[in-house]
Amino acid sequence: MTTGAGPFFDAMAASYDDLEPWYEHLYAVLHDLLRAELALPAEAHGPRALDAGCGTGFQTVILRELGYQAFGVDLSAGLLRGARRRSPDAHLAQADIEALPWADETFDLVVSCGSTLSFVPHPDRAVAELGRVLRPGGRLFLEVEHRWSLDLGWRLASSVAGDALGYGVSAREAWRGFTRPLGEGIWIDYPGYPTLRLFTRGELHRLLGQAGLVPVRMWGLHSVTNAIPSTLLHRGALPRVLEAPFRRLRSLDRALAGTRLARRLSNSLVVLAAKPSR
């Protein structure tokens, strides 16, 4: 995250760990993927991993559990205080991910979750930095907001119905989400958050390629769970009538995460990329 998002996340630092249903599901699947894809072989000796946009350290702790020397960076001083409490042995720094304070080829792994890249004003600079600090043969595990999800339709439907679902945009603005160049990402306003970017898969591949990174695997999260509008999932608790359907949708969403359908319709894209060895 960068300058505009810093004060926002400072203000919400005290409640950052109170996960809404949306984030509870997202992190549950993300963290299972982290453990499955990034586990170290027994002979590995403390490779370095960076949690870029570490927040209060959810992923930083997992990196340490997996055997990495864990480093974290975030723009928000408030969130970093939480990360220091959660993972006191990690190496944490306050900085902008568009200008990381480490030398080239410092890390064996870079992880960036929590939609960090979607809050960055210049994603191309940020991805270039993530690639710069990776060693040849290193890997990037990245999660971003995706443009072509069911939630884009809910946003339009809500605007036509007088903002019935609380997305807070006009019908004209919601419709523009469908009419801008189809292969490009878009910037949107979302209630309660700074302006954020929704990426397309093609755009994400271009950014990775420009940074010298090669996609290895991709997953889609919050695909079928978007049968429930995201504004309802971004509340402290779901209405009771939606609790059982959401549990079933979560199970299905997890099962479909690695499929083409999920990658096409998900609200969150997750990509594992590699920096080729010399």
Domains in the chain: ranges and CATH: 5-152+182-274 (3.40.50.150)
The structure tokens listed for 112 are 């960036």
Please give the average per-residue pLDDT across 1-14, as a whole number: 76
pLDDT, position 14: 87
Q: What is the separation, in whole angstroms, between the first and last Cα of the chain?
A: 30
Nearest-angstrom CA–CA distance, 83 and 40: 23
Is the pLDDT reported for residue 120 higher than 90? Answer: yes
pLDDT, position 1: 44
Is the pLDDT reported for residue 118 higher than 90? Answer: yes
Residue 44 pLDDT class (50, 70, 90 cuts): confident
Q: DSSP labels for 222-260?
A: SSGGGGS-HHHHTSSS--HHHHHHHHHHHHHHHHHTTSH
pLDDT, position 5: 81
Nearest CA-CA partner of 184 in 198, 167, 171, 194: 198
Greater model confidence, 97 or 41: 97
Please give the average per-residue pLDDT across 26-47, as a whole number: 92
Q: Enumerate the β-bridge partners of residue 134.
A: 107
Is the pLDDT reported for residue 212 higher than 50? Answer: yes
Q: What is the pLDDT of residues 136-172, one digit of tens each?
A: 999 999 999 999 999 999 999 999 999 999 999 999 9
Using DSSP's 3-state secondary structure scheme, residue 176 falls into: helix
Max CA separation in the chain (angstroms): 59
Across the chain, mean pLDDT equals: 95
Q: What is the pLDDT of residues 56-108, one digit of tens each?
A: 999 999 999 999 999 999 999 999 999 999 999 999 999 999 999 999 999 99
CA trace torsion 255, 259, 262, 263 (10° rounding): 140
Is the pLDDT reported for residue 4 higher than 70? Answer: no
Please give the average per-residue pLDDT across 10-20, as a whole number: 89
Percentage of the chain lying above the pLDDT 70 cut: 99
